[in-house]
Chains A and B, each alone.
Chain A
Amino acid sequence: KAGVTQTPRYLIKTRGQQVTLSCSPISGHRSVSWYQQTPGQGLQFLFEYFSETQRNKGNFPGRFSGRQFSNSRSEMNVSTLELGDSALYLCASSGQGALTQYFGPGTRLLVL
Protein backbone atom coordinates (compact mmCIF):
# COMPACT_ATOMS: atom_id res chain seq x y z
CA LYS A 1 0.00 0.00 0.00
CA ALA A 2 1.36 3.43 -0.87
CA GLY A 3 2.05 5.71 2.05
CA VAL A 4 0.93 9.24 2.71
CA THR A 5 2.10 11.65 0.05
CA GLN A 6 2.55 15.39 0.33
CA THR A 7 3.21 18.02 -2.28
CA PRO A 8 5.18 20.09 -2.74
CA ARG A 9 8.12 18.88 -0.69
CA TYR A 10 9.81 22.26 -0.49
CA LEU A 11 8.49 25.76 -0.83
CA ILE A 12 9.92 29.24 -0.52
CA LYS A 13 7.54 32.15 -0.09
CA THR A 14 7.78 35.76 1.01
CA ARG A 15 5.94 37.45 3.83
CA GLY A 16 2.36 38.35 3.02
CA GLN A 17 1.92 35.64 0.40
CA GLN A 18 -0.33 32.66 0.80
CA VAL A 19 0.43 28.99 0.31
CA THR A 20 -1.52 25.79 -0.27
CA LEU A 21 -0.16 22.39 0.70
CA SER A 22 -1.61 19.08 -0.41
CA CYS A 23 -1.84 15.69 1.26
CA SER A 24 -3.04 12.34 -0.09
CA PRO A 25 -3.71 9.79 2.65
CA ILE A 26 -3.09 6.08 2.58
CA SER A 27 -5.72 4.40 0.44
CA GLY A 28 -8.82 3.72 2.52
CA HIS A 29 -7.89 6.18 5.26
CA ARG A 30 -10.50 8.84 5.83
CA SER A 31 -8.95 10.82 8.66
CA VAL A 32 -6.27 13.37 7.82
CA SER A 33 -4.47 15.43 10.43
CA TRP A 34 -2.05 18.29 9.94
CA TYR A 35 0.85 19.23 12.19
CA GLN A 36 3.44 21.98 12.24
CA GLN A 37 6.96 21.16 13.38
CA THR A 38 9.46 23.83 14.36
CA PRO A 39 12.69 23.56 16.34
CA GLY A 40 11.30 25.78 19.09
CA GLN A 41 7.77 24.41 19.49
CA GLY A 42 8.13 20.84 18.32
CA LEU A 43 5.19 19.09 16.71
CA GLN A 44 1.93 20.95 17.13
CA PHE A 45 -1.53 19.87 16.00
CA LEU A 46 -3.22 22.12 13.46
CA PHE A 47 -6.48 20.37 12.55
CA GLU A 48 -8.05 17.06 11.60
CA TYR A 49 -10.54 16.21 8.89
CA PHE A 50 -12.79 13.22 8.49
CA SER A 51 -15.29 12.75 5.67
CA GLU A 52 -14.81 16.34 4.50
CA THR A 53 -15.57 17.75 7.97
CA GLN A 54 -13.16 19.40 10.35
CA ARG A 55 -13.50 17.48 13.61
CA ASN A 56 -10.66 18.90 15.68
CA LYS A 57 -8.71 22.13 15.63
CA GLY A 58 -5.53 23.20 17.38
CA ASN A 59 -4.58 26.62 18.70
CA PHE A 60 -3.51 28.32 15.52
CA PRO A 61 -4.75 31.64 14.11
CA GLY A 62 -7.43 31.78 11.46
CA ARG A 63 -4.78 32.30 8.79
CA PHE A 64 -4.38 28.54 8.90
CA SER A 65 -7.23 26.70 7.24
CA GLY A 66 -7.86 23.42 5.56
CA ARG A 67 -10.30 21.30 3.71
CA GLN A 68 -10.85 17.72 2.69
CA PHE A 69 -12.25 16.41 -0.55
CA SER A 70 -14.55 13.49 -1.17
CA ASN A 71 -11.58 11.28 -2.08
CA SER A 72 -10.06 12.07 1.37
CA ARG A 73 -7.27 14.18 -0.08
CA SER A 74 -6.70 17.26 2.02
CA GLU A 75 -5.26 20.69 1.55
CA MET A 76 -4.13 23.27 4.05
CA ASN A 77 -3.81 26.93 3.33
CA VAL A 78 -1.85 29.60 5.12
CA SER A 79 -2.70 33.16 4.21
CA THR A 80 -0.66 36.30 4.88
CA LEU A 81 2.50 34.36 5.61
CA GLU A 82 4.72 35.44 8.48
CA LEU A 83 8.38 34.62 9.07
CA GLY A 84 7.33 32.43 11.99
CA ASP A 85 5.35 30.18 9.68
CA SER A 86 8.61 28.70 8.41
CA ALA A 87 8.33 25.08 9.45
CA LEU A 88 7.93 21.48 8.39
CA TYR A 89 4.24 20.82 7.76
CA LEU A 90 3.28 17.21 8.27
CA CYS A 91 0.18 15.39 7.26
CA ALA A 92 -0.87 12.11 8.88
CA SER A 93 -3.67 9.71 8.04
CA SER A 94 -5.47 7.04 10.00
CA GLY A 95 -8.02 4.42 9.11
CA GLN A 96 -11.61 4.37 10.37
CA GLY A 97 -11.76 3.28 13.98
CA ALA A 98 -7.97 3.26 14.20
CA LEU A 99 -6.03 5.70 16.27
CA THR A 100 -2.60 5.10 14.81
CA GLN A 101 -1.47 7.91 12.55
CA TYR A 102 0.99 7.50 9.71
CA PHE A 103 2.94 10.51 8.57
CA GLY A 104 3.81 11.73 5.12
CA PRO A 105 7.26 13.08 4.22
CA GLY A 106 6.24 16.66 4.98
CA THR A 107 6.42 19.98 3.18
CA ARG A 108 9.25 22.24 4.25
CA LEU A 109 8.12 25.86 4.02
CA LEU A 110 10.54 28.74 4.21
CA VAL A 111 9.14 32.25 4.50
CA LEU A 112 11.52 35.07 3.62
Chain B
Amino acid sequence: QKEVEQNSGPLSVPEGAIASLNCTYSDRVSQSFFWYRQYSGKSPELIMSIYSNGDKEDGRFTAQLNKASQYVSLLIRDSQPSDSATYLCAVNRGNFGNEKLTFGTGTRLTIIP
Protein backbone atom coordinates (compact mmCIF):
# COMPACT_ATOMS: atom_id res chain seq x y z
CA GLN B 1 0.00 0.00 0.00
CA LYS B 2 1.32 3.42 -0.95
CA GLU B 3 1.76 5.88 1.90
CA VAL B 4 -0.26 8.56 0.11
CA GLU B 5 -2.72 7.63 -2.60
CA GLN B 6 -4.46 9.81 -5.13
CA ASN B 7 -6.48 9.05 -8.20
CA SER B 8 -4.12 9.95 -11.05
CA GLY B 9 -6.97 11.11 -13.27
CA PRO B 10 -7.24 12.83 -15.59
CA LEU B 11 -10.23 14.50 -13.97
CA SER B 12 -12.21 16.68 -16.34
CA VAL B 13 -14.56 19.29 -14.92
CA PRO B 14 -16.62 21.92 -16.78
CA GLU B 15 -15.73 25.55 -16.16
CA GLY B 16 -17.71 26.95 -13.25
CA ALA B 17 -18.34 23.56 -11.65
CA ILE B 18 -16.85 22.13 -8.44
CA ALA B 19 -13.73 20.00 -8.77
CA SER B 20 -13.26 17.41 -6.03
CA LEU B 21 -9.83 15.90 -5.42
CA ASN B 22 -9.26 13.08 -2.96
CA CYS B 23 -6.31 11.67 -1.05
CA THR B 24 -5.88 8.86 1.45
CA TYR B 25 -2.87 8.19 3.64
CA SER B 26 -1.67 5.17 5.54
CA ASP B 27 0.42 6.59 8.42
CA ARG B 28 -1.98 7.13 11.31
CA VAL B 29 0.42 9.45 13.12
CA SER B 30 0.32 11.96 10.25
CA GLN B 31 -0.66 15.37 11.55
CA SER B 32 -0.06 17.87 8.74
CA PHE B 33 -1.61 17.82 5.31
CA PHE B 34 -0.92 19.96 2.29
CA TRP B 35 -2.24 20.48 -1.19
CA TYR B 36 0.16 21.70 -3.85
CA ARG B 37 -0.65 22.69 -7.41
CA GLN B 38 1.88 21.97 -10.12
CA TYR B 39 1.63 23.32 -13.63
CA SER B 40 3.40 21.39 -16.35
CA GLY B 41 7.12 22.12 -16.27
CA LYS B 42 6.87 24.15 -13.06
CA SER B 43 7.52 23.46 -9.40
CA PRO B 44 4.80 22.71 -6.81
CA GLU B 45 2.99 25.73 -5.40
CA LEU B 46 1.30 25.54 -1.99
CA ILE B 47 -2.49 25.87 -2.18
CA MET B 48 -3.71 24.84 1.26
CA SER B 49 -2.53 23.36 4.52
CA ILE B 50 -4.78 21.70 7.08
CA TYR B 51 -4.02 20.26 10.48
CA SER B 52 -7.37 19.71 12.23
CA ASN B 53 -10.40 17.61 11.36
CA GLY B 54 -13.06 19.48 9.45
CA ASP B 55 -13.08 22.04 6.70
CA LYS B 56 -10.74 24.91 5.97
CA GLU B 57 -11.71 27.47 3.35
CA ASP B 58 -9.51 29.89 1.44
CA GLY B 59 -11.20 31.70 -1.40
CA ARG B 60 -12.44 29.17 -3.94
CA PHE B 61 -10.55 26.35 -2.23
CA THR B 62 -11.77 24.17 0.63
CA ALA B 63 -9.66 21.47 2.24
CA GLN B 64 -11.40 18.75 4.22
CA LEU B 65 -9.69 16.43 6.70
CA ASN B 66 -10.97 13.28 8.35
CA LYS B 67 -8.22 11.70 10.43
CA ALA B 68 -10.38 8.76 11.53
CA SER B 69 -10.86 7.78 7.89
CA GLN B 70 -7.34 8.91 6.97
CA TYR B 71 -8.77 11.00 4.20
CA VAL B 72 -8.13 14.51 2.96
CA SER B 73 -9.79 16.27 0.07
CA LEU B 74 -9.65 19.51 -1.85
CA LEU B 75 -12.68 21.20 -3.37
CA ILE B 76 -12.29 23.90 -5.98
CA ARG B 77 -15.44 25.96 -6.49
CA ASP B 78 -16.22 27.91 -9.67
CA SER B 79 -13.44 26.07 -11.51
CA GLN B 80 -11.47 28.15 -13.98
CA PRO B 81 -9.32 27.04 -16.94
CA SER B 82 -6.31 28.35 -14.98
CA ASP B 83 -7.02 25.64 -12.38
CA SER B 84 -5.96 23.01 -14.92
CA ALA B 85 -2.86 21.47 -13.34
CA THR B 86 -1.68 18.46 -11.35
CA TYR B 87 -2.68 18.58 -7.70
CA LEU B 88 -0.36 16.93 -5.22
CA CYS B 89 -1.40 15.78 -1.78
CA ALA B 90 1.42 15.80 0.79
CA VAL B 91 1.55 14.52 4.32
CA ASN B 92 4.00 14.70 7.21
CA ARG B 93 4.10 13.64 10.81
CA GLY B 94 3.74 17.19 11.93
CA ASN B 95 6.43 17.30 14.56
CA PHE B 96 9.19 19.87 14.37
CA GLY B 97 12.38 18.21 13.27
CA ASN B 98 10.65 15.83 10.90
CA GLU B 99 10.05 17.94 7.84
CA LYS B 100 9.88 15.05 5.40
CA LEU B 101 6.89 15.41 3.13
CA THR B 102 5.43 12.28 1.58
CA PHE B 103 3.63 13.00 -1.67
CA GLY B 104 0.96 11.25 -3.61
CA THR B 105 1.49 10.83 -7.33
CA GLY B 106 -0.91 13.65 -8.08
CA THR B 107 -4.25 14.08 -9.81
CA ARG B 108 -4.26 15.76 -13.20
CA LEU B 109 -7.20 18.17 -13.40
CA THR B 110 -8.49 19.63 -16.64
CA ILE B 111 -11.10 22.39 -16.61
CA ILE B 112 -13.12 22.36 -19.81
CA PRO B 113 -14.20 25.85 -21.02
Contacts and interface: CB of A to CB of B under 8 A. Distances in A.
Main secondary structure of the interface of B (DSSP, over half): loop
A48 B44 contact: no
Contacts of A105: 42-43
B101 interface: yes
Interface string A45-81: 1001010000110100000000000000000000000
Contacts of B105: 42
B43 A106 contact: yes
Contacts, number: 59
A56 B103 contact: no
Contacts of A55: 97-99
Interface of B: 32, 34, 36, 42-46, 49, 88, 90, 92, 94, 96-106
10 contacts: A42-B103, A43-B88, A50-B99, A99-B32, A99-B94, A100-B34, A100-B49, A101-B34, A103-B36, A103-B45
Interface of A: 31, 33, 35, 42-45, 48, 50, 55-56, 58, 88, 90, 92, 94, 97, 99-106
